[in-house]
Amino acid sequence: MSSAATADTTYKEPVPLTGITLWLCGILLAMANFVAILDVSIANVSVPNIAGALGVSTSQGTWVITSYAVAEAIAVPLTGWLAMRFGTVRVFSVSLIGFGIASLLCGISPTLETLVAARIVQGFCGGPLMPLSQTLLLTIFPKKLQPAAMGIWAITTLVAPVAGPMLGGTLCDNFGWGSIFLVNVPVAIGAGFLVWRVLFSQETKTVKARVDTVGLGLLVLWVGALQLMLDLGKERDWFESPFIIGLALTALLGFIAFLIWELTDANPIVDLRVFRHRGFSIAMVCMALMIGSFFAINVIGPLWLQNNLGWTATWAGNATGMVGVLAIFAAPIAAQLAVKVDPRRLIFLGVGWLAIITFMRGMATMDMSFGQIAFLIFLTGVGMPFFFMPLIQISMGSVNPEETANAAGLQNFIRTMAGAVATSFVATIWENNATKNHEGIVDSMKGIQRTIDQLMQGGMSHTAAVATIDRMVSGQALMISTNGVFMGAACLFAACALIVWIIPRPKGPVDTSNVH
């Protein structure tokens, strides 16, 4: 921070917690981390229900996912400054309580606009929860128990993405889409107040330091304009619309101004100088492509299962959640191997595995059973830890030790933005390609009148016969479009498996305690 920063001279080092108070706080912090990560994936299988209930298209329904992710990404660079300025416990507690209030607003939203606005607030509050929960766990647990604390944190981090689709689907089908947000309310608000009361004595030292308001403003400007362009592009006919052109120019110029400011400011909110390290830069390219591809298939997959195969949100969630089962068991193995062998080998194997399984999923048909689809999703989980954890290891090993915390924050921002951008982009591509495929199938069909006549002879009216054929054509068009998305993701996974060998191998062990 700047030389103008002033430390709190009245600060006293906190006394470590012990006994039941220690473990109660550990559970509360783990629960907070759980609900923050849960809300990234819990809405994935509920998009069709939300879109139908609010009278909007499926692509508009995905704003529920992207608005949260973008707000979370913008909040991440501010987390360190907020914790330094106001204290880790205060920021964490206020964020958690705010998350609960925003969840309540999401659950009772009558329109898409109010839901998206509430999700933005929820994302801003959720951004600090994951990194600060890890920080507080390391603070309150004594050195000898810190591995156990990180074990609690890691379990919630891995279980939440698995539980998200399953819980979201079950709640949505049985209690309505609003329940997927309302379930957070008692947990977040209750845990927030308890953390405030119990951990107030563990508050961290505060420093009065300025925040890079210009950098933050430019970040909000270009990220917001980019996301709006992606979300509204389809319904505004893309660059035929002056509004979309304006958003594109705003995003481009805002991004250029952001780069110039952050590279020249003495205390940037995002220190872009870490990109001078070739290993970190290439690793971030791989991170963006991998996470973007992974989000794409995990957003489109549930939509296809419900819109094309007629599955309920519960069944779609149960199938989608299978991705995390093997990931939980593979994660400890990947973490141990990442410090013993060349992490590039692990990334190559993990991403290569994802490419193979995603390619197989790209050959799906409409008569596949739940078991066939769920088994492929189940196998996908093996590759996740073997690309994600070693990639963090190798990217953090490419920067100087004093740059680790900043590089970790930037990495989290890129990871979150890649998922948000991919969600918007792939939803538009998926629907546009389905429309084109529908037209192509209709144009290539021969003897369609004969088929209509046969259906009418079987007792159908002309309208019912035409509707039946249209449903069949629409189903095939959507199936082809879905397979195209999966094939594209498989190609990106395969490309990343090759690109990773360009990254220089870390020279030694890497301290990833600051990586969130």
Do 13-209 and 274-516 fold alike per CATH?
yes
Residue 116 confidence (pLDDT): 92
Residue 513 confidence (pLDDT): 46
Model confidence, pTM: 0.77
Residue 122 confidence (pLDDT): 93
CA separation (Å) from 396 to 43, 406, 416, 441, 502? 31, 10, 17, 49, 16
Q: Do 315 and 369 touch, CB atoms closer than 8 A?
A: no
Domain spans, the chain: 13-209, 212-268, 274-516
Residue 100 confidence (pLDDT): 94
Q: Do 42 and 165 touch, CB atoms closer than 8 A?
A: yes
What is the rounded CA–CA span in Å between residue 202 and residue 209? 21
Q: Which amino acid is at 494?
A: A
State the CB neighbour count (10 A cutoff) for residue 193.
14
343-361 helix and 323-338 helix, angle to the nearest 10 degrees: 160
Which parts of the chain sit beneath pLDDT 50?
1-4, 511-516
**Count of residues in the chain:** 516
What is the rounded CA–CA span in Å between residue 14 and residue 201? 6
* CATH classification code of 13-209: 1.20.1250.20
Q: Do 25 and 145 touch, CB atoms closer than 8 A?
A: no
Residue 2 confidence (pLDDT): 40
Residue 333 confidence (pLDDT): 82
State the CB neighbour count (10 A cutoff) for residue 195.
23
Residue 12 confidence (pLDDT): 56
Per-residue pLDDT reduced to its tens digit, 44-91? 778 888 888 888 887 788 788 888 888 888 888 788 778 878 888 899
Fold of 274-516: Growth Hormone; Chain: A; (1.20.1250)
Q: Do 149 and 137 touch, CB atoms closer than 8 A?
A: yes
Residue 154 confidence (pLDDT): 67
* Residue 53 burial class via C-beta count within 10 angstroms: exposed 0-12, middle 13-18, buried 19 and up: middle
Cα 101 from chain centre? 21
Nearest one of 230, 164, 380, 392 to 293, comparing CA atoms: 380
